[in-house]
């Protein structure tokens, strides 16, 4: 159950105060919002004298090393997978509030008796903690975390504001996506005033591609399929494509943004194989259609304009079924409230 900011801050600040060992976790294929939020919170907690470790379901992309450097947590203490969960007395989940979207790590943590805090901006299909600061109207988890820091009077140094700025800049697509509100821009400006660099952050996030990832992108775009008279675009990234290009499964992040740049496309889908078997499906909408309904039907979650789900089974088993749902959504013309997008 998501609480008000004041209620959450009173309880969360107490739990942080009494905790000694804190573990931060996020979703599979952690992106710059989740990693940036982890980095900002980790640095804040280290300054409070806490022993902080980070354990994600899957590895962090090399391009996000600058965020790891900001965190104050050594690279060796950024762990992966359900077999590497450090000892802790407080678990903090960032940028996700659904066990399903945390892969095998979520399956293990689901049975943990430790206290849990959540910072997120996605709508979830399940309740995994009674104490969460979840704002589905926020642009990013970085924005949610920024409000928490303000509310508790945290001293945000240059590293913290830089990590938060990266979270916001990434999840808004460089302030292009519909989740960019006026308030988001004001927060971004305040983070820059406090020491974040727009130029440096944009370079790290958007001008830092490897040739192997460009090769993966080229392969994915060569397979793009158009549906519903051009309103839907989708592609599928296979295990073979990752192996051939020498890329990680996290390197498929951003491909769906290319689909959304196509004129006339209102809804995009990215299917990708995942290392543990099964597939991850990512949905995006320009605002006319609420794609969170597609994810929630399948046990996932997210926002009206950005959502996803992980599914067991083969892509061939799921693609046809999911496309049929997407086509029905477009055909029935169900529109989302723009202020919720």
pLDDT (0 to 100) of residue 246: 95
Q: What value does the mean pLDDT take over residues 125-129?
A: 73
CA–CA gap between residue 142 and residue 44 (Å, rounded): 13
pTM for the complete prediction? 0.88
- The CATH number covering residue 171 comes to 3.90.1640.10
- Regarding whether 311 and 279 lie in a shared domain, the answer is yes
- Regarding whether 182 and 45 lie in a shared domain, the answer is yes
- Regarding whether 305 and 178 lie in a shared domain, the answer is no
Q: Which of 186, 206, 226 is the last residue of a domain?
A: 206
Q: Which of 148, 178, 206 is the last residue of a domain?
A: 206
216's enclosing H/E stretch is helix 211-221
pLDDT more than 90, % of the chain: 75
Per-residue pLDDT band at 161 (split at 50, 70, 90): very high
- The CATH number covering residue 301 comes to 3.10.310.30
Q: Which of 153, 174, 206 is the last residue of a domain?
A: 206
- Regarding whether 215 and 191 lie in a shared domain, the answer is no
- Regarding whether 162 and 221 lie in a shared domain, the answer is no
pLDDT more than 70, % of the chain: 96
- Regarding whether 69 and 128 lie in a shared domain, the answer is yes
- Regarding whether 195 and 53 lie in a shared domain, the answer is yes
Q: pLDDT, tens digit, for every residue of 49-105? A: 999 999 999 999 999 999 999 999 999 999 999 999 999 999 999 999 888 889 889
Residue 171 scores a pLDDT above 90: yes
Q: pLDDT, tens digit, for every residue of 132-141? A: 999 989 999 9
Q: pLDDT, tens digit, for every residue of 209-256? A: 999 999 999 999 999 999 999 999 999 999 999 999 999 988 998 899
Order the strands of the 90-94 sheet from edge to edge.
78-80, 51-56, 21-25, 90-94, 115-120, 132-134
Residue 39 scores a pLDDT above 90: yes
- Regarding whether 294 and 179 lie in a shared domain, the answer is no
pLDDT (0 to 100) of residue 341: 35
Host domain of residue 112: 5-206
- Regarding whether 216 and 199 lie in a shared domain, the answer is no
pLDDT (0 to 100) of residue 125: 66
- Using DSSP's 3-state secondary structure scheme, residue 120 falls into strand
- Regarding whether 173 and 30 lie in a shared domain, the answer is yes
Number of domains in the chain: 2
| Angle between helices 158-171 and 182-193 in degrees, nearest 10 | 150
- Regarding whether 236 and 88 lie in a shared domain, the answer is no
């Amino acid at each position: 159950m998501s609480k008000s900011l004041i209620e959450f801050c009173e309880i969360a600040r107490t739990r942080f105060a009494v905790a000694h060992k804190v573990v931060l976790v996020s979703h599979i294929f952690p992106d710059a919002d989740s990693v940036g939020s982890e980095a900002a919170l980790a640095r804040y907690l280290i300054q409070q004298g806490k022993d902080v470790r980070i354990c994600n379901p899957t590895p962090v992309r090399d391009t996000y090393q600058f965020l790891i450097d900001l965190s104050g947590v050594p690279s060796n203490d950024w762990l992966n997978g359900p077999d590497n969960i450090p000892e802790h007395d407080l678990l903090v989940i960032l940028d996700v509030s659904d066990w399903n979207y945390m892969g095998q790590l979520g399956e293990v943590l689901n049975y943990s008796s430790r206290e849990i805090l959540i910072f997120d901006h996605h709508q979830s299909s399940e309740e995994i903690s009674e104490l969460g600061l979840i704002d589905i109207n926020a642009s990013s988890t970085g924005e949610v975390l920024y409000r928490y820091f303000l509310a508790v009077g945290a001293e945000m140094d240059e590293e913290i504001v830089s990590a938060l700025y990266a979270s916001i800049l990434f999840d808004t697509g460089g302030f292009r996506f519909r989740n960019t509100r006026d308030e988001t821009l004001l927060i971004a400006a305040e983070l820059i005033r406090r020491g974040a660099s727009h130029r440096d952050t944009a370079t790290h996030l958007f001008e830092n591609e490897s040739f192997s990832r460009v090769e993966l992108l080229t392969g994915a775009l060569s397979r793009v399929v158009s549906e519903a008279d051009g309103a839907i675009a989708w592609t599928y990234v296979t295990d073979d494509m990752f192996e051939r290009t020498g890329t990680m499964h996290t390197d498929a992040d951003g491909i769906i943004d290319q689909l959304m740049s196509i004129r006339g496309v209102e809804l995009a889908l990215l299917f990708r194989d995942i290392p543990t078997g099964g597939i991850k499906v990512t949905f995006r909408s320009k605002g006319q259609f609420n794609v969170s309904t597609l994810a929630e039907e399948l046990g996932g979650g997210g926002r009206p304009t950005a959502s996803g789900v992980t599914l067991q089974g083969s892509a061939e088993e799921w693609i046809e079924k999911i496309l049929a749902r997407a086509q029905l959504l477009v055909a029935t013309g169900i529109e989302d409230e723009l202020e919720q997008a």
